[in-house]
Each structure stands twice: as C-alpha cells, then as structure tokens.
Amino acid sequence: MNVSPVEVGVPAWTDGVSIFVDPNASARDVLCSVSVQASLLGSGSLFPDVAARLVRHATLTRRYLALEGHRALLVQEDVLPAAARALIDPGVAARIRSPADSLALAASREPIAEPPGIFGTIRPGRLRSVEARPALGVTAQHGTRQERDALLRELEHDDDSDATVVDPFSTSVGRGGSIGRLLKKAFGDARSRATGPPGVERATRWSKRSTPRASNPVVTAAAAALHGDVGAADHRQRKYPEWDVYRRRYRPDWCTAIEITTRAENGRSSALPESHALRRPLARLGLDLERRRRQLQGDDIDIDAAVEVCVQVAAGSVPDEAMYVDSIRSRRDLAVLVLLDVSGSAGEPGATGGTVHEHQRTAAAGLTAALHDLGDRVALYAFRSQGRAAVHFLPVKRFDDGFDALVRRRLGALVPGAYTRLGAAIRHSTSVLEADGGTSRRLLVVFSDGFAYDHGYEGTYGEADARRALAEARRRGTACLCISVGAKTDPAALRRVFGTAAHATLTREEQLASVVGPLFRAALSTADIQRRAWQRTERTRERLDVDRRTA
C-alpha cells in the first residue's frame, strides 16, 4: 500500500492500491486521512458490490462515507493512533453493522450530516483490486501486542511533535516513516511471501494472539478466483434464509445455492488413503434393528422353524434348536453427506506442512471411501461462495454414485478459492440429505477451518448464522459433526462457529481414525434425541389441529 500526493486542496481518496492525500496538509491530517481510507479498505467498505452502487451517485457517496467512515474506524480501532480514534462518532457507528446497513441508510430520506473533511472522499469509479486487499483487523501478523502498542505510541508521538516530519510520500509499505510503518503493520507484507492461490496472501484464521477485533472482515480471495475447476451450473438452485443476529430475525430467501458441475478432466486422480483404520470404528455405527429368523434365542418363536423341529423329533433325528425370531442390530441405516470447504482460506499452509486443503481433502476422501465400503449411503460435496447470490456447490460424489476413478479425478480437480458462506452451505447440505439420503439416520460431516466470511458475512454475524444453521439441522433430526484438519484456527473461534455441535480439531488426517467413532456416536445420539422430541412436537401439533377442527 503506497501513500502518494495529489493536487493541493483535493480530498484524500484511494484506488485500492494507493492512498492519495494533500501534500500541504499537516502531519496530523495526513495521518488521520490515511487511517480513514485504510480503514475503509480493510473493513470491506469498498468491495465491488458496494462500489458499483455508488458510481455516478455523488450525493449517495457522500452520505455513505459519512456513515461508513465511523463504522470502519470503529472496526479497526485497535490498530489506529489516538488522533484517528478521536474521529469516531460512537452514536453513528452503533447504528451500523455492515457496509450494507450504511448503504441502505444513505439511500433513505433520513437527514445525514456531511462527512468530516478529513475523511476525504470515495471515488468508486477509480477503485481497483479492492477485493484482494488484506484487512486491517487481522492481528495474527501484526506482531505482539507490545510491538503494536509501541507502534501506536510512536505514531501518537509523531502526531503531537513539532519536530521534523518524515515525508509520507517518499516511502511505501516496509520502508521508513510512521505512516509507512502503520500501513505495514495494518496490511502486512504477505503479498511478497504468498505461495498459495490468489486470495490467500493474508492470514484468515484466529489465533491466541488475535485481539477481539481480529474476527472482523478479512478478505480471503479475489472475486474472480474460480480456478477453472468448474463447468456449467446445474439446474439445481435453491434459496435459503439467513439469520441476522443483530436484528434477531431471519432474512428470507437471502442466499442462493447453485450446484456446479466439476470438470474432472482438469484434475489428476486423487490418491486414496488407507481406510481400514476408519472402517473398524465405523462398522457398528448407524446400524438399525433387523428381524432375523432361525436364531438360537429371541423374543418370539419362528413358526416355520418350530414345525420343522417337530418333524425332526418325530423322525428320530436331532432337531435344530435355532427356532426363534430376534431383533439384531445389523441393517445399515445411515446416510452421510461429507461437506468439504474449498474457500480461499483452505489454501493456507497447514500446521504440519502442505496446505489445509490437502489435509482436509485427504481426510474427506478417506472417510467417504470407508463409509462407502461399509455399505452406507454417502455423498461428497465441496463448497465456496461469491456473495449471497452465488453459494457454489461442487458435487464430487452423489448418493447414487460409486466411488470410482471419476470421483477421484473430481476430487483432485478441486482448488481453493473465493469465500465461505458457511450457513448457506450447511442449510443446502441438510436439504440434500433429507431429499436424497433415503434413511432414517442422517449425518452431516463438515470439513472446514471454521472461518466464516463473505461479502456482508463476517465476524459475529457469520459465526451466529453458522451456529444457527447447525442447530436447525439437528432440530430436524440431522446429526452434525464439524472437523478441522491441519488448520491453525483457535479452538475458541471454532466453538463460536460450531456452537454445541460435535466438533474436533486435528493436526493430521491420520488422527481421524482415533476420534471418529466417539464423534459419530455423540452426534448421532444427540440427533436421535432431538428427532424424537421434534416428532413428539409434530404429533402434538397435529392432534391439536384435529381437535381444533372438530371442535
């Protein structure tokens, strides 16, 4: 991120790559203007879908900046100097939860004060590559809190000092100058070290070193980062609601899930891990009672076998004592949908080498192969999103498909990219399970790093929606299990996303065999209890409806 001069008297603005400020402005004003523009970038305020609404609407743009500027500064407050923090109007910021809220309020007829001149301006037609910029709010690469506080003290000292001011336009990120150091700490220099696919230049996880603000907006992929591993969209599209935790209500028909055909020819056949270790703990799970005849013991008599015993005794031969009917838990009655997160954050380095995507893909493939070998109905889907209108589902193996070379090539063709609208993915998976599973026991297994983020879907909002979607699935009788393999996500962050659903964090996919049995049992038993409670509730409601009609 560069700081460059513009004509004297022109308000500060940014094109997403550089921040342009008045060279004659004071050091304090330059610092505050840079903080405002950088906060707008880091908080998702200038995403393409927002900027497109502002083009050629000067009045709307000014009103939007007057609102969104305060929200963006509040989001990035932890990394701002005191002079910039003093610009925040808590009353305005408290009314707004996202850029969409600011845009809606700006488009209304409500009177809104003009933005402070130090905020600068927004030039939506000049924005470029905003969606690929890292966010200010992630502190995993900001150094220790002591280092960050020292930086802020230095900035504040520079801000209040009458000493010689370093020229802010002579340096870019990583060089001298307090503004350069602020931007380096805020945006980091991960671009120069990036080795993964586009959109994973920046850390997209929480860690123990993260501040409470660290779960705010983080950009994980470029808007066009669909890496050629998909083909034309199927006809299967469906809209789903989304839970708005701030308003405590659903947004009906808010997200659209679209199933996309995977181009298997673009990928190499994915090698399957040894699934024998997984089959053993899974062998007795998901079994239903089956009535078996001609048993040595049981709760009823097999009439045909009893007649044969009488004939054998009359004939003087030794009778067969297997003359009972018993209920034996032997019939496979389990449908499992394995959901694999292939968003941009999965392309990050894993905790034990390789990428998170490679670890989770291997674990998902091994689990799918083991369940298929045991005779369970199993499907494998991948997902990612590009805003609420494009939650993409990539069917790798449907319920009626075999686990063959085509499935392995589809799996090998998956490349991480785009974003993670986790709640919509869970809701669509639950719908597919209920429609195509064909069994009374259903289980959804989600392999994800737990980072819920998309346009307008971040922080507390995204976490709450994901938890709500998992709770909805379990209330309807679908067991839910969430597994993170190889990611460095803070366990506390996973608890905020997955809630009370069964979940586990593994460093290597080999550890799955040791925990899959207890996890499956916990998830299925909880779902059985909730399914029976839901069935009792439905029967009570039906009985009340009948009584009401007959009264």
pLDDT digits 0-9 by tens, 17-44:
888 888 888 888 888 999 998 888 877 7
Looking at the structure, do residues 129 and 271 belong to the same domain, yes or no?
A: no
Closest CA to 443 of 417, 412, 419, 477: 477
Cα–Cα distance between 528 and 297 in angstroms, integer?
28
Confidence of residue 286 (pLDDT cuts 50, 70, 90): low
Q: Give the pLDDT of residue 179.
A: 57
Is 205 contained in some domain? no
Predicted TM-score of the model (pTM): 0.55
Of 430, 400, 463, 450, which is closest to residue 531 (Cα–Cα)?
Answer: 430
Is residue 113 in a domain? Answer: yes
- pLDDT higher at 379 or 224: 379
Q: Is residue 204 part of a domain?
A: no
According to DSSP, the β-strands at 391-397 and 249-262 are: parallel
* Contact assessment for residue 470 and residue 498, using Cβ atoms and an 8 Å cutoff: yes
- Burial letters 526-540, b for 16+ CB under 10 A, else e: bbeebbeeeeeeeee
The structure tokens 């927004």 sit at: 122
Residue 142 has pLDDT above 60, yes or no: no
For residues 171-188, give the mean pLDDT: 48
Q: For residue 304, is it within any domain? A: yes
444 in Cβ contact with 480 (< 8 Å): yes
Predicted confidence band at 254 (pLDDT cuts at 50, 70, 90)? very high
Is the pLDDT score of 426 beyond 90?
yes
User: What is the domain count for the chain?
Assistant: 3
Q: Would you say residue 192 has pLDDT above 50? A: no
Q: Quote the pLDDT of residue 263.
A: 66
Residue 336's nearest CA partner among 394, 282, 289 is 282
Residue in 473, 342, 494 with CA at minimum distance from that of residue 420: 342
Looking at per-residue pLDDT, the higher value among 143 and 397 belongs to 397
- Asked whether 265 and 409 are in contact (CB, 8 A), the reply is yes
Cα separation, 434 vs 429, in Å, equals 9
pLDDT at 180: 57
CB under 8 Å to 306, separation ≥6 — which residues?
Answer: 323
Query: Would you place residue 220 in the very low, low, confident or very high pLDDT band (cuts 50, 70, 90)?
Result: very low
Specify if 416 maps to a domain: yes
Strand 249-262 and strand 230-244: pairing? antiparallel
Same domain, 305 and 382: no
112 touches 65 (CB < 8 A): no
Query: How many CB atoms lie under 10 A from the CB of residue 170?
Result: 11
Q: Which domain holds residue 40?
A: 2-193
Tens digits of residue pLDDT in 330-377 = 567 789 999 999 998 888 888 788 899 999 999 999 999 888 888 889
338 and 328 in one domain? no
- % of the chain at pLDDT higher than 70: 75
Residue-averaged pLDDT of the chain? 77
Mean pLDDT across 68-74: 88
What residues does 441 pair with on adjacent strands?
334
The answer to whether residues 252 and 386 belong to one domain is yes
Q: 460: closest CA among 76, 97, 133?
A: 97
Structure confidence at residue 151 as a pLDDT band (50, 70, 90):
very low
Any domain includes 86: yes
Q: What is the pLDDT of residue 499?
A: 83
For the stretch 219-237, what's the b/e string if a residue is b when 16 or more beta carbons lie within 10 angstroms of its beta carbon?
bbbbbebbbebbeeeeeee
What is residue 122's three-state secondary structure?
coil
Q: Do 128 and 251 lie in a common domain?
A: no
Would you state the pLDDT for residue 446? 94
* Coil, helix or strand at residue 409: helix
Distance in angstroms (rounded) separating the CA atoms of residues 513 and 263 = 31
